[in-house]
Amino acid sequence: GRNNVCYIHLTLVPYIQSAGEIKTKPTQHSVKELREIGIQADAVVCRTIQPLPEDERRKIALFTNVQKEAVISAWDVESIYKIPMMLHEQMLDEIVCHKLQILARAADLSEWKKIVHTQEHPEHEVDVAFVGKYVDLQDSYKSLNEALRHAGIHTNSKVNIHYVDSEELEKGNSVPLEKMDAILVPGGFGKRGTEGKMRAIRFARENGVPYLGICLGMQLATVEFARNVCGLTGANSTEFDPDTPHPVVALITEWLDRTGRIERRSEKSDLGGTMRLGSQKCPVEPNTLASSVYGSEVNERHRHRYEVNNIYVPQLEAKGYKVSARTPSESLPEIMELPGHPFFMGVQFHPEFTSTPRHGHPLFKAFISAALRHRAASKLRVVAA
């Protein structure tokens, strides 16, 4: 029945800067349209750039037939994590509970307050180079951006994300990387910008800068290592060079077995098919960087078609690269790292999807912690010089 439903209407209340006026007409009109289909809002949440004046709240309440206290102002804030407190202070939670006849205890937002306080008053600061090809549209990497900021909250740090166009790095300019405390290469697809990403990876590897590669970022780290450490000239992913003499990364259907024959696999194959999608568990090698982050097991979400080619793993490991986690049934590399480097890790999965502001994610927290150590060590070197 009606008592089991609470209608909250979210509406835009534009501010006309040239006139210095807030316009409530769109809200009045949308509420009228809702009434015509039999919906009466119990609360109206007004999205605006600044808190609504009391006279505007009264006007909206009058025209929408809701109590003034149920006209909620949702204005622009620096952090989305302030919004729960904003709504709580205007008692939206109590309005909902009252409407649904729920006897609820008082909300405890102390944890949210700590999150916001840490964001606004961090004790530390790090600069992370985010090397991608969609850097002009930063929301393309929204989940990763937030995962880095979550890690900042849990390391009491302000994470300054510097978006670096990988195509610019292909021109040989490493200046955007030189003052960074860490480098991240995200997932992606397509050949454009991959050589620039590998330049960034090589810079991190050779200069001891903490590096984290996500999905494609792990694959490119493997290709870079194969080329420049293992001496496999022309090594590449078949995604970018189908005729590469060294398919270090390939579709599983394109893998060579140990006799040199192409292994034929399908979507139904136990060995992976053409797409790995969703969550999968796998054990982690003890005494590795991965085990210090995840413990004995990792369970993360995947979305990719290409894998590191197992036939090249012995050559990679002989030169110091290490597979620290494999899938249990197919033995596909899940995590690869570089022992002896301060922090160099590539993961085939997408850990950013499970990061939250309350808990962060262990991998991103470890990455930002490594960035903090690198920053501190860099300052010591400057002082010593």
Catalytic machinery residues: 215, 350, 352
Q: Which residues of 74-113 are buried (b: 16+ CB within 10 A; e: fewer)?
A: bbeeeeebbebbebeebbbbebbeebeeeeeeeeeeeebe
Q: Measured between alpha carbons, how far is 308 from 355 in angstroms, rounded to an integer?
A: 25
Going from the C-alpha of 112 to that of each of 116, 321, 351, 355, 364, the distances in angstroms are 6, 41, 22, 16, 20
Phi-psi region of 190 (alpha: psi -120 to 50; beta: other; left: phi over 0): left
Q: Measured between alpha carbons, how far is 35 from 46 in angstroms, rounded to an integer?
A: 18
Q: Which amino acid is it at 7?
A: Y
* Closest residue by Cα to residue 93 from 79, 82, 103, 81: 103
The tokens of 292 are what? 């210090």
* Run of H or E including 313: helix 313-318
Q: Measured between alpha carbons, how far is 314 from 320 in angstroms, rounded to an integer?
A: 10
* Closest residue by Cα to residue 324 from 284, 294, 364: 284
Q: Measured between alpha carbons, how far is 121 from 133 in angstroms, rounded to an integer?
A: 32
